[in-house]
A = this chain, B = another copy of it.
Amino acid sequence: MRLSRSLIPTLKETPAEAQIVSHRLMLRAGLIRQQSAGIYAWLPAGLRVLHNIANIVREEQARAGSQEILMPTIQSAELWRESGRYDAYGPEMLRIRDRHDREMLYGPTNEEMLTAIMRDSVQSYRDLPQMLYQIQWKFRDEVRPRFGVLRGREFYMKDGYSFDLDYEGAVESYRRMMLAYMRTFKRMGVRAVPMRADTGPIGGNLSHEFHILAPTGESGVFYDSSFETIELGDDAYDYEARADLDAFFDRMTSLYAATDEKHDEAAWAKVPEDRRREGRGIEVGQIFYFGTKYSQAMNFTVVGPDGARLHPEMGSYGIGVSRLTGAIIEASHDEAGIIWPDAIAPFRASILNLRQGDQVTDALCERIYDALGRDALYDDREARAGEKFADADLMGHPWQVIVGPRGAAKGQVELKHRRTGERAELDIESALAKVRV
């Protein structure tokens, strides 16, 4: 895209309302704009990040055997009365009355709806197991929305659900998702640590939260420092081999990691002292086994192999897609701006034209822009070089192709790597080859 004709409104000043760095940078880099408290519009560069994250989630869910569906945002209150959650849910639920005065709500999650769909569609043990997920907007009417997309009211989330015939099947689904989640976060270029988490009254010890470590995290976390170095989303494990799922799960859970809510001093004491780390984490996912809670409450049964009806065992699995954009920035930025991991960057490269209007410089920039196509953001504004440098660092694309009149005359550009700061004078083809890798 050409920056001069793009809605990427970068800001020099830090907006007063933004308290944490990711919120400041998302506003300053022109990724989002607030529309109401905790409700954001995603501008072109921000939406590219959101799509990149969603697509990684999608690919890894498909690999793990989960089917994508899409449920509506507006649900009927009736459905939530079936599970008993309509009255139990607090003021975070956005309750709505339609023109016929029917009670509706903006869905914060979808256990009820999907259980009802399955109840209508699935009759036999032969139809299970199944895993399904969606990536859809949800609403939680936070009393004090803040921290930008980290704690917004309207948020984009992957919510997945598993349906199994028995406990052993549910455990396998859960472990499948553990592997899928670790691969998902790894592909995004961040380190997310699986932590033992609260399960509430139902669910035994089967709940894990996935935390990105960052000083601004909302949760205190305790973890074995091995999590800073071990391989977290190894491709060697095979979804179709139960032994692989178990081995991966054991590897992830044998090392200590817990949020402060679940912190266990006795277990902590057994971690070698030099490997004990305390810090803060941002929760970007949670997986949860809850047995027959919803299948019983909503009377979802299938006919088992012996002819008797049974209540399927369920789990649910969330990833905060919009939240991840902020969380990744919290973990990956410097004084000058965002440092996007390659896999989710809105663009592979910024092209900086340092002498807009100079024929040779313009021509070279156009040539590079043609070659990179939709992977490049071409800063073709009539602006000072200093402003272009600052904005390129702020926006944080992995590469900056810097084109000035002196280099252009020799057919050369300066290529800067945003993360390392390394710069090199290169001819066009060498620069393009590096950017394209």
Contacts and interface: CB of A to CB of B under 8 A. Distances in A.
A434 interface: no
A408 B327 CA distance: 53
Nearest to A98: B141
Nearest to A76: B36
Interface in A144-168: 153-154
A63 B161 CA distance: 37
Interface stretch (A40-48, A295-303, A389-397): A40-48
A370 to B, nearest CB: 13
Contacts of A94: 74, 96, 98-99
A41 B99 contact: no
B75 A129 contact: no
Given A94-B96, A120-B33, A382-B126, A154 B4 contact: no
Interface in A17-67: 30, 33, 35-36, 39-44, 47, 50, 62, 67
A50 B68 CA distance: 12
Interface stretch (A5-13, A258-266, A308-316): A5-13
Given A1-B67, A113-B35, A117-B33, A73 B73 contact: yes
Given A47-B69, A91-B99, A141-B99, A122 B74 contact: no
A127 B6 CA distance: 8
Given A35-B76, A36-B76, A39-B72, 11 more contacts: A5-B127, A7-B67, A7-B122, A9-B120, A36-B75, A36-B104, A39-B74, A42-B71, A44-B69, A72-B137, A94-B98
A262 to B, nearest CB: 29
Contacts of A127: 4-5
A117 B41 CA distance: 9
Interface in A209-262: none
Contacts of A122: 7, 9
A288 interface: no
Contacts of A36: 72, 74-76, 102, 104
A80 interface: no
A7, A69, A75, A139, most chain B CB atoms within 10 A: A7
In this complex, which of A36, A102, A120, A374 has the most chain B Cβ atoms within 10 angstroms of its Cβ? Answer: A36
A178 interface: no
A143 interface: yes
A437 interface: no
Contact of A73 (B9, B42, B137): B137
Interface string A377-410: 0000010000000000000000000000000000
Given A74-B106, A139-B74, A69 B41 contact: yes
24 contacts: A1-B67, A4-B126, A5-B127, A6-B130, A7-B121, A7-B132, A9-B122, A35-B76, A36-B102, A36-B104, A40-B72, A41-B70, A43-B69, A43-B117, A44-B67, A47-B70, A74-B94, A74-B139, A92-B99, A94-B99, A96-B96, A98-B141, A126-B382, A137-B137
Contacts of A92: 99
A62 B94 CA distance: 35
A126 B382 CA distance: 9
Contacts of A98: 94, 141, 153
Contacts of A35: 71-72, 75-76, 79, 113
A71 B1 CA distance: 20
Contacts of A33: 117, 120-121
A372 B36 CA distance: 46
A73 B98 CA distance: 16
Contacts of A67: 1, 6-7, 44
A130 to B, nearest CB: 6
**Residue of A41, A47, A92, A102 most packed against chain B (CB within 10 A):** A41
A67 B9 CA distance: 14
Interface string A72-114: 1111100100000000000110101011001010100000010
